[in-house]
Structure 1
């Protein structure tokens, strides 16, 4: 149960509500424990015509006690349940905030579906522990302690026998709780695997349908779900056995003690009313202990979920702001790499960049060209400090990116990726992503400059049109222009552009290229080049191979040299016929 202890601080924030719940619990438990005293008096007073008035009074009092119990129980349940909802809402917020702070290397290894499962399913499991389970646990704990104390006061001899039985009940509770926690954690892990697969496959549903993979995907998900069910069934079986053992031992002890008490009544050592009072307290204690056994198993399951979340929260982001971050000078847009080497965690012995050095002046337009794996995209990742270089330094406006706050650094950089991210929401929300305070006029102006205003106004609700998750209702060119509008609205001095016009038709390509020319004007621009038009417009071309700059210069200069760039230009930039002719 130690895994649940760190979550107590969330409940401590709302201590007034917890105190009110504790007060309601105390009133409800005290009222319930008063019932056996009234029953004893009625039995010992006897049922006769002379005692009719007293019996009426006892029943009126018991009716009032029942009303108090009902109101207090309702208040207790509401307060504890809402406390659980509040705690889990805070926990989900903190887990999500922590996930957004983790570095790219973490997401290289993690599965998004599994993270979503932890954010939803695991926190729901914890909600039951802080809500209904906590309410039942507190109530039954109070009832068990109170009824046990009053049971001892009623008959110490009989109570000693009951307490001896309780020790027999507690041992399997502790052992079984550990088993339940392990089984429940395994069930949560298998459910997370199923969720991860569903998230991945549904995110690529068009590909799945295009390849006719619906049936195999369905069978694979069914196997994952069946595995999750089997794990949950095993955990439930252990819980059921635990409950059966606890309840049977508890009530067998009550029956045995009742048999002994009946003999004491026959021998005149105690009254029938006193035995009835004792039996009621014993039944309350046994019932509470049986409920506690069920609560214990549920808390053990919640502890497994809490352990998974604790592991997630324990992951420390490697890309963080220093304790005393350097202050960036006024934005210019200068970028410099000094003997930079870098390797990804998945292949630490393979350098993606190898002692790379280059300076890019403010306002310069630089194209990056090279074969796949040459390190072009990695340069973008290091400039934005999604990763830290293993050797050397990356500087923006003369300041080492490791010495500044990553948010301040990224505020100076706008990027247009080859596959832009479009989120479920309106067109305006997508353009203003990262700048939610932007006015409607500024959003429309950014769209106009990105050649997107025309098609946006043709949509049913213009800028308020919901475009679906990942922009499913938009064409590739339209998504690119929205991404360009987003970059224009950000108005950053450095632009990182992974040109994506190669997959567009001629009309869309012309519109996107014109928009790119607009957004690149007056900014330091680095372009991973796929088109001859972009290369020719660049002030300088950097040719990368094996993580090094092997050539640099203008298009004409590099073609004249006849090196790697000239070969790439024939294959990648020139028309296919010209490439074939050169190859002949």
Structure 2
């Protein structure tokens, strides 16, 4: 069960309770100081103006200036502390939510739009920050003013105060009904903003494809439609908020005006003094203004609650790959053996179609194994299960005879160096990209890894060398250059098991030969699994595993498979034909 928004927010405010307490104290001081000005107004009218006592008037003016100075000081302290708390809580929420997001498996992000997650992470936390630092402070101050003002009004005139209180239920009705409506519409509005963010993220990240297919006009129309969807939802929220604010102001000011008329009759009849009525009107105006402030910021707070609900949902998304409290430890060793038994896996969104079906494999420490098969055979899925990005539907995977489900995720994944087919390059310089898997590596070690991956030759050609910024998703690099950076990253990580997913697929013939030499050196003494579509890569493997439709259909050496397996023979024949055409 998800916690309430208030419980969730209080958990973030708890570490700063002293600052919260100080802010509340200054809030009370400031509000009570303003309220005491009413007594200054009363004395100024009765003891200064009416009595024509100049000396007493001077004392009263001094008293009012002193109260004003105290109130201004309290406002400064309250504003600083509340604004600081808003920024701090927002920062802590972002850190906590991001930490949780990093613990979610790739399976979660395969079903979510990244832009929607980013919208919750940025826009919703910004809205929450604004409310905590500003709107919430205003609401608390106004609430104290309302309570204190009514108390001072009661001291001044019980009769007039009771008449004012008769109007309170009339004011609370629109606050209760319209406030809930504003909150619901605010939640919908944030959802539409999330859709908008997701579309922007997708279209701009894939700008090459958008422009290559001259899809700009269609994307523009789709984006405009999403913007209008945001606007349509906002219209309802704005309408109800405007009705809420105007109705509260009308009812409260009308009630005070009518009560003031009754008070004026009492002054004429000598029941209360002019000073008492002036003080009452001062308090009544303060109360009315505070009620109007509450009605205005109440809708903002409801909007923030809608945003907070979205953040709570994100933060409490269940982690499908759980960390163990007491995981087992792998024995020391530079190479690892893998055992896969009766492995079955079905993607959550593909419940009727098994991606892997009854896989049984044993891979010796230091062995080089090539996985061959058509697209969709389950090769990349097997890699994902080895690293526990997903949990098997049935069966188990063992690393050095220990079920990987009993290992910590950190220790398990530190056994693998991955070179994916689509190389991942981060928006950073060459050095930070290469030492992504070993952040403590020296610059010299980075350079040696790049030399081994045959990447040094193009890196030094950059004007800034290893400090060159590679752009978002490596936009400044060619496909082959990205691949060599990824291979350098794997070389530097120096982990016991290599997972090569078409590691040379994006290279030209010259670069491919250079990288193969680097990989041959890298693979010595390491357990290596290679997803391969090129015959040259397959022939050098110790063993070839042929996969089709999620199953292992054949295992053996190249010559044996050529003679015994039609699928592999077709694969090899196509590769040889392609090689001949290339040479021609």
TM-score bin (small chain): over 0.9
2:439, 2:339 → 1: CA distance? 31
Summarize the Cα distance change of 1:163–1:438 in structure 2 as closer, same or farther, 3 Å threshold: same
Query: Are 2:395 and 1:397 aligned?
Result: no
What's the CA shift for 1:510?
2.5
Task: Pick closer, same or farther for the CA change 1:273–1:2 going to 2, 3 Å.
Answer: farther
SS in 2 for 1:315: coil
Superposed CA deviations along residues 104-145 of structure 1, whole A, max 9, x for unmatched, are 221110110000000000111111221111211111111111
The residue correspondences of 1:215-234 to structure 2 (distance < 5 A) are 215-234=217-236
Residue aligning to 2:341:
338
1:425 aligns with 2:428: yes
Matched residue, 1:39: 41
Distance change >3 Å, CA 100–CA 181, structure 1 → 2: same
Task: Indicate whether 1:282 and 2:284 are aligned.
Answer: yes
Q: Distance in 2 between matches of 1:164 and 1:421?
A: 67
2:534 is the counterpart of 1:531: yes
Partner of 2:564: 561
**Do 1:29 and 1:142's aligned partners in 2 also have CA atoms closer than 8 Å?**
yes
Q: Equivalent residue for 1:266?
A: 268
Matches within 5 A, 1:105-184: 105-184=107-186
Q: Secondary structure at the match of 1:575?
A: helix
How many angstroms does 1:3 deviate by? 2.2
CA offsets 1:161-211 (integer angstroms, 9 cap, x no match): 111211110121011111011111111000100100110111110111111
Query: Mapping of 1:10-159 within 5 angstroms?
Result: 10-47=12-49, 51-159=53-161
Deviation string 1:429-467 (CA, Å, 9 cap, x unpaired) is: 111113222211111111111111221122111111111
Q: 1:508/1:579 Cα in 2 relative to 1: closer, same or farther (>3 Å)?
A: closer
- Partner SS for 1:13: helix
Q: How does 1:370-389 map to 2 (within 5 A)?
A: 370-389=373-392
Structure 1 position 2, deviation (Å): 4.0
Cα distance, 1:560 vs structure 2:
2.2
| Residue 358 of structure 1 pairs with residue 361 of structure 2 | yes
Separation in structure 2 between the aligned mates of residue 380 and residue 562 of structure 1, nearest angstrom? 24
Q: In 2, Cα distance between the equivalents of 1:46 and 1:478?
A: 86
- Measured after TM superposition, the shift of residue 497 of structure 1 is 0.5
Contact kept, 8 Å, 1:559 with 1:565, in 2: the verdict is: yes
Correspondence for 2:458 among 452, 455, 460: 455
Q: SS at 2:341's partner residue?
A: strand
Q: Distance in 1 between matches of 2:259 and 2:438?
A: 72
Judge which range, 3-12 or 40-49, deviates more: 40-49
* Aligned residue runs from structure 1 range 402-551, under 5 A: 402-551=405-554
- Matched position secondary structure for 2:138: helix
CA contact (8 A) 1:450 1:519 kept: no
How far apart in 1 are the matches of 2:534 and 2:573?
12
Stretches (4+) displaced over 4 A: 577-580
Q: Is the 8 A contact 2:426 2:473 kept in 1?
A: yes
CA RMSD for the aligned pairs?
1.6
Separation of aligned partners in 2, 1:69 and 1:107? 51
Aligned-pair distance for 1:508? 2.8
Contact 2:48 2:56 in 1 (8 A): no
Structure 2 Cα separation of the partners of residues 243 and 3 of structure 1: 24
Aligned residue number for residue 208 of structure 2: 206
- For the Cα contact (< 8 Å) 2:554–2:565, is it kept in 1? no
Q: 1:155 to 1:514 in 2, by over 3 A?
A: same
Tell me, yes or no, if the aligned pair for 1:500 and 1:530 is still in contact at 8 Å: no
Q: CA deviation at 1:351?
A: 1.0
SS at match of 1:392: strand
Tell me if the contact between 2:421 and 2:505 (Cα under 8 Å) persists in the aligned partners: no
SS in structure 1 of the partner of residue 332 of structure 2: coil
Kindly state the Cα deviation for residue 356 of structure 1 after the two structures are TM-superposed: 0.8
Measured in 1, the distance between the counterparts of 2:291 and 2:537 equals 76
How many residue pairs get aligned? The number is 579
Q: How far does residue 509 in structure 1 lie from its aligned partner after superposition?
A: 2.3
Q: CA contact under 8 A between 2:483 and 2:507: conserved in structure 1?
A: no
Contact 1:148/1:281 (8 A) holds in 2: yes
Going from structure 1 to structure 2, the CA distance change for 1:411 and 1:22 (only over 3 Å counts) comes to: same
Contact kept? 1:484, 1:519, Cα under 8 Å: no
Cα distance between partner residues in 2 of 1:540 and 1:368: 9
Alignment check: 8 A CA contact 1:481 1:515 kept = no
Q: Tell me, in whole angstroms, the C-alpha distance in 1 between the residues paired with 2:432 and 2:244.
A: 52
Say whether residues 1:316 and 2:318 are aligned partners: yes
Q: Matched residue of 2:53: which SS?
A: helix
Q: TM-score, normalised by structure 2?
A: 0.96
Mapped partners of 1:356, 1:47: distance in 2? 98
**CA-CA distance at 1:478 after TM superposition:** 1.0
Do the aligned residues in 2 keep the contact of 1:80 with 1:131 (CA within 8 Å)? yes
Name the CA distance, whole Å, in 2 between partners of 1:516 and 1:290: 72
| Unpaired runs of at least 5, structure 2 | none
Give secondary structure in 2 for the equivalent of 1:393: strand
The Cα shift of 1:578 comes to 6.4
Structure 1: segments with no counterpart, 5+ residues: none
Aligned partners of 2:81 and 2:525: how far apart in 1?
59
Cα distance between partner residues in 2 of 1:20 and 1:446: 55
